[in-house]
């Protein structure tokens, strides 16, 4: 039977007092470094990066010089972060990280040997070195996310789309890998705005974007191209596979229902799909996918057309 996890809450304001010496003294452990030495080294090392993954990787590596660990996991749902370092263990100690009332995620240490109170005290003391570097990294990540995401749908915005498209086209040419683009437009969206109001229209766009993202792989990328139009980048995906993805997206939206004051709003999408040609530019690829999209609309909507 796996022993229960130890669950704790770290208040970094209190931890700061502990670091300043306002705490009960403990005997010095005969380990590669002392607690105070590791404090100083971590304080310097953790300030050299604004990447959450890099900061936590350094923290995990350095803490093991004092307290043996098999694994460490970190989760911060608001930043869509779920990270794991090392292998899993049967015993764990979990910490909800808070600073000045701000939730900064959950950190879980694991190993196959039970933690004793002295070891946990050392870990908790070292956590005080993590608070400000981690907070700064989370703020930086949030700023990047806001700069690259559409605030309404949570998909990538046009700036992120242009960057990603250029990068994916370059990689596809360089490695001779297939790349497909899906252009997708919500049919008769103006009727929804006119009939139910723009607030309902915004809710419909959010519901559609969530449904689309749920049908895509982690490596697929979706962007709001503008209005009710989206672009999906399918890297290392041939035309036949991209067609299957497009049909799955079309079918998903066709069966999606949004209720407004008890009345169901039925939706459908039209799609255009294009495969990157040798030496083709990102602009040409996008134009061909967009032309295929409008061909699908001319043919009656709620269908997908392949670019010529």
**127, 94 in Cβ contact below 8 A?**
no
C-alpha–C-alpha distance, residues 299 and 115, integer Å:
66
Single out the catalytic residue among 228, 240, 247, 254.
228
Whole-number CA gyration radius for the chain: 25
Report the half-sphere exposure of 219 (CA within 13 A, side-chain side). Answer: 7
228 part of the active site: yes
Residue written as token pair 């109170």: 117
Sign, Cα dihedral of 201, 191, 189, 264: positive
Burial of 156 (0-12, 13-18, 19+ CB in 10 A): buried
C-alpha–C-alpha distance, residues 1 and 140, integer Å:
41
Q: What DSSP line would sit under 53-73, residue for residue? A: HHHHHHHHHHHTTTS--SEEE
Nearest C-alpha neighbor of 225 from the set 195, 205, 247, 199? 205
**180, 244 in Cβ contact below 8 A?**
no
**51, 139 in Cβ contact below 8 A?**
no
Is 74 in a helix, a strand, or coil?
Answer: strand
Burial of 214 (0-12, 13-18, 19+ CB in 10 A): exposed
Catalytic residues: 228
């Amino acid at each position: 039977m796996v022993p229960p996890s130890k669950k704790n809450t770290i208040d970094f304001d209190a931890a700061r007092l502990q670091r300043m010496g306002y705490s009960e003294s403990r005997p010095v452990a005969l380990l590669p470094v002392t607690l105070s030495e590791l404090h100083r080294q971590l304080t310097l090392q953790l300030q050299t990066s604004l990447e959450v993954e890099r900061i936590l990787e350094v923290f995990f590596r350095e803490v093991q010089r004092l307290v043996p660990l098999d694994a460490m996991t970190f989760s911060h749902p608001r930043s869509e972060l779920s990270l794991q370092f090392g292998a899993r263990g049967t015993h764990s100690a979990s910490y909800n990280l808070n600073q000045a009332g701000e939730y900064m995620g959950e950190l879980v240490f694991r190993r196959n040997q039970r933690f004793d109170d002295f070891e946990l005290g050392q870990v908790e003391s070292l956590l005080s070195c993590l608070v400000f570097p981690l907070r700064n990294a989370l703020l930086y990540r949030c700023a990047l996310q806001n700069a690259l995401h559409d605030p309404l749908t949570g998909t990538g915005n046009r700036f992120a789309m242009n960057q990603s498209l250029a990068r994916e086209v370059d990689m596809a040419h360089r490695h001779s890998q297939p790349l497909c683009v899906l252009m997708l437009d919500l049919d008769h969206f103006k009727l929804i705005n006119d009939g139910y109001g723009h607030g309902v229209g915004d809710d419909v766009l959010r519901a559609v974007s969530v449904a689309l993202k749920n049908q895509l792989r982690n490596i697929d990328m979706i962007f709001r191209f503008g209005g009710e139009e989206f672009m999906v980048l399918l890297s290392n995906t041939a035309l036949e596979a991209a067609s299957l993805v497009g049909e799955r997206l079309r079918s998903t939206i066709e069966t999606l229902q949004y209720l407004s004051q008890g009345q169901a709003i039925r939706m459908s999408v039209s799609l255009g799909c294009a495969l990157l040609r040798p030496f083709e530019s990102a602009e040409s690829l996008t134009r061909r996918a967009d032309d295929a999209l409008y061909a699908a609309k001319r043919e009656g909507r709620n269908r997908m057309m392949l670019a010529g």
